[in-house]
Amino acid sequence: MKNKIEKIRDEFLKQLAQVTDNETLRELELKYLSRKGEFSEIMHGLKDVSIEMRKELGELANTVKTEMQTKFNEISRSLENYGKKSEFIDVTLPGEKFTNGHIHPLTLVQNEIEDLFTSLGFMIGDGPELESDYYNFTALNVPPLHPARDMQDTFYIDSKNKDGQYDLVMRTQTSPVQIRLMQKYGAPLKAIIPGRAFRSEATDSRHEHTFYQLEGIMIGKDINFANLKNMLEIVGKKLFGQNTELRMRPKFFPFVEPGNNGEYTCSLCQGKGCRVCKYTGWLEIVGAGLVHPDVLRAGGIDPDIYSGFAFGFGLTRLAMLKYNINDARLFNSGDIKFLEQF
Ligand code: DAH
């Protein structure tokens, strides 16, 4: 038996030394090393010999098997590398195509407005989407039970503060960041705040529970309504072209006084009147006004020294107009066919 083991080993090593291709290598593996190979047979045969012999032969068999396996692995590895070197690459085959990603239409509009405002010296501010009831409403002149809260129904969060009250909401507007920035940086201040806002709405082609706004605030000495008008005109021309005109109509927003709706010449019909502008020739795009003294105070700024204007664009609505998108729900749909168009 001892002889048999050594014979197998010698034969195996001899044949292995002559191997030049993978196929013969696999054949050798099958013949000698596999579970049905010659070596396994030997191992099985061990159960028929006496205990002392079994121990001795077992040890020998194991050493030999390891030796054979190590040698085999060595040759196998060198063959693999050899194979790689001679691998044939057909350079005339068409390459793999990498598709480019697309910038989301909302990001495109946001980038454009950010470029404009940063070139005018505005900073870009940011605030939490999960906001306190105080910042989202009260500090903006909308105390609890104020009817203006009804217009912005939101998602309240199911956790109480230390006074036992529910006071966290998904922010309904980007306006609370006005207060946060005033508190952080004081006056003078020039900032825009792009971001997500949320409302508990029945969704349809013009309403989504999650949408984007872009807020702006400018505080300084003697900032007045003419400054606001000028700024909104610049934005309109940048977004919709040089012939775009602005008209301002009074509108109540609790955090500004006076407040107004800014409307631009309809970019789709050039002011002639169409379905989108409801045949008025104007598009309602931005809420704006002079910051209310109470709001300045909430931000820690003295309204006797400073004044300012603020505005809020619906970024989602802007993108819809600019790219002629007819359903607000498409933006968050993750639909590749929609996104690939931009
Ligand atoms: N936050 C308002 C809204 O969501 C928009 C707005 C109106 C923002 C007037 C302002 C502003 O800063 O001055 O409807």
Based on its alpha-carbon atoms, the radius of gyration of the chain, rounded to whole angstroms, reads: 38
DSSP E strand stretches across 17-151: 123-124, 130-132
Q: Across the chain, what does the average pLDDT equal? A: 91
Please give the pLDDT value at position 313.
96
Q: So what's the pLDDT on residue 134?
A: 94
Query: Per-residue pLDDT averaged across 129-136, rounded?
Result: 95
**What is the whole-number distance in angstroms between the Cα of residue 220 and the centre of ligand 1?**
19
Residue 99 has a pLDDT of: 84
Enumerate residues 6+ apart whose C-beta is below 8 A from 329.
Answer: 203, 205, 208
Ligand 1 pocket, residues with Cβ under 6 angstroms = 173, 175, 215, 253, 256, 259, 287-289, 310-312
Q: How far apart are CA 171 and CA 11, in angstroms?
A: 80
Q: What is the model's pLDDT at position 84? A: 60
Per DSSP, the residues of 100-111 read PP---HHHHHHH
One DSSP character per residue, 190-225 reads EEEEEEEEE-----BTTB-SEEEEEEEEEEETT--H
Cα 149 to averaged position of ligand 1 atoms, centre (Å): 13
Please list the alpha-helical segments (H only) found in 89-209.
105-119, 133-136, 176-185
Give strand pairing partners of 218: 190, 309
Tell me the CA–centroid distance for residue 105 and ligand 1, in Å. 22
- Quick one: pLDDT at residue 33? 85
> What pTM does this model have?
0.72
Ligand 1 atom closest to Cα of 178? 12
- Give distance in angstroms: CA of 252 to centre of ligand 1: 10
Neighbours of 102 (CB within 10 A): 14
Whether residue 264 is predicted with pLDDT greater than 90 in this model: the reply is yes
Q: 101: CA distance to ligand 1 center in Å?
A: 33
The span from the CA of 320 to the CA of 330, in Å, is 10
pLDDT grade for 100, boundaries at 50, 70 and 90: confident
Residue having the nearest C-alpha atom to atom 12 of ligand 1: 311
168 touches 100 (CB < 8 A) = no
Top-confidence residue, 182 or 59:
182
How open is the CA angle 208-214-218, to the nearest 5 degrees? 150
Ligand 1: which of 232, 251, 255 to mutate, most ligand atoms within 8 Å of CB? 255
The tens digit of pLDDT for each residue in 22-58 reads: 888 888 888 888 888 887 888 888 888 888 888 888 8
Per residue in 216-253, pLDDT tens? 999 999 999 999 999 999 999 999 999 999 999 999 99
CA distance 337 to 342: 10
Share of the chain above pLDDT 90, in %: 54
